[in-house]
Structure 1
Amino acid sequence: MKKILIFALLIITVLFSYLVSWSEWLLLTVLFLGLVFLIILGLIRIFRKSKKILFQSAILLIGICLIGIFAGLFRPYEPALLKSGTISEQLEYAYKTDQSDRKQLRSFIPMFSKLQERDVLRLEKVKQINAEGELTKSRDKFHSAFIYHHSDNSADYKMASKLAAAAAKDEGLQNDYQVQWLRKAAYDRWMVSQEKPEKYNTQNKFSIEIK
């Protein structure tokens, strides 16, 4: 019965990690807590005996979390771009996948990451839309600026700053924190890329925003 429960828990963890995009961060948290618990048990055992089952349970929990995290690394990305829809819908979708990609653990592990190639796809699409003169709405400019912001060269950072500044001037977006933050961050990133000092100090401090 015990083995069946452990196997069931393992299967549930693997499925949860594979199907839910943020699951690996939860499993990492549980893994960390399990390690802390194991260390505490080890320290306690120096002074007095502790139940062996506690060690076994902690090790089992850590093992299940590791397997779950590993399973999550094989979760496929959503398509980087929307193949149909209005310009606004395509840009909003590109922005959302840009953000969701950066919330996945696999994006930070070179062996499993496809972040760079997906960034290239999004940037090419946004550049195409921009070249066709289709960036007329402020929200579209914001979404596009975020894509440009995740490029790797000064020219794109300049465009990100230009679009973000234009979006931030819209009366309907002046109280939007992300829009106003991007205006500052895109400008600072452009300055840093030219080896010039930042104006808003957004590149050298911790931010809760996905960069």
Structure 2
Amino acid sequence: MKKIYNIFVCISAAIFLSSCTAQDWYDSGVSSPYHDCSIMEYLRKDTYNWELTVKLIERAGLTDMFEGKDSNYKEITFFAPPSYTILRHLWNNGMESVDEMSIKDCKAIVLRHVLNKKYLKADFAYRNVDYMIDDELQDGGTDVETLGGSHLRIYRDKSAYGGVPDLGPETMYIYSFTKATMVPLATPDIQPLNGVVHALNYNYDLGRI
């Protein structure tokens, strides 16, 4: 059964990747970004995208934080790695289950994806387009540090529409100074009751934040 599941996930991920662009997340659920439940409940409801993400959080001993029950973290921001990202990490390290990962490693991984308050896309500054995002002269974007100690710069870019600058859709990007990598984002601003989830793309590899 496990082999069949793994094959199914691979095929599904391939279809997903071939049909999506940078920040498209095709979900058969409700299109509203608001969810009348905790972040943990939201993740548990969508086993297709988040089953292994839930197991990673549980293995890390951080369930209370994601359920809004930790008095130190009433609201959080979660840059959420999807199940396929975690499955690929397991395969690349010769493992088949999240239970084979150490609790310490699971906690470190999860906390590198969490901010200690709620940040919506609109809370992040625009990039100064005159400079690369990691240029020392870059005065745009918003620098944050995750609970796991990763230094990120989150920023928005405007786009043109019909040949008119800045009238097109806005996109959000993540750059990790800690790993010197861009982090692929799928869908921002998913809003359960105790914070916000910014879903990372299936292309994302654990360790790039």
TM-score, normalised by the number of residues in structure 1: 0.23
Indicate the structure with greater strand content.
2
Indicate the structure with greater helix content.
1
Higher relative contact order (CA 8 A, sep 6+): 2
Q: Which has the larger radius of gyration?
A: 1
